[in-house]
Amino acid sequence: MDTPYARQYNILVVDDSATTRAVIKRVIHLTGLPIRDIHEAADGSSALATLELLGAENPVDLIFTDLNMPGMGGAEFTRQLRTIDRYKSTPVLVISAQPDAACLHGLEPDAVQGWLSKPFTPEGVRDLIHRVVGIPEPQGDAV
């Protein structure tokens, strides 16, 4: 694919709401960032299964997750995620409609690297992804 970026990134979105997953996928695409694939999971267990399926050949570079989900929630998901060598330091961002970041209290240290507040805007998502993933500026013409 013709892109001014050095590489493309894989993202995993974990949320029990299909609508939320659709919204964040659309907003991520609107950022213009070099995204290869956006994978989806409806809870923590499905997310771990997806990561296992992707294996070492196609790892995820960034994870967005809800905290309150039926089945395995976000806190347990991030705890188990950090036991996988490949994902010990992969950035995780919490997506939430909560009015402030107090929802992150109770998570283990370094479980997540940021908090994305609803409603999402492409600018907010773009800035946050740049901050936590450190995507280098595009080579040549700006996107």
Site for another protein, rule CB under 8 A: 17-20, 22-23, 26, 68, 96-100, 102-103, 117-121
- Whole-angstrom CA distances from 28 to 32, 126, 128 are 8, 7, 11
- Cβ 66 to another protein, closest distance in Å? 10
**Judged by CB, which is closer to another protein: 17, or 139?**
17
Tokens of 86: 């490949």
**Judged by CB, which is closer to another protein: 31, or 90?**
31
- Cβ 98 to another protein, closest distance in Å? 6
Tokens of 16: 């029990």
Place of tokens 């080579």: 139
- Cβ 99 to another protein, closest distance in Å? 4
Greatest CA separation found in the chain?
A: 46
Tokens of 30: 């609107």
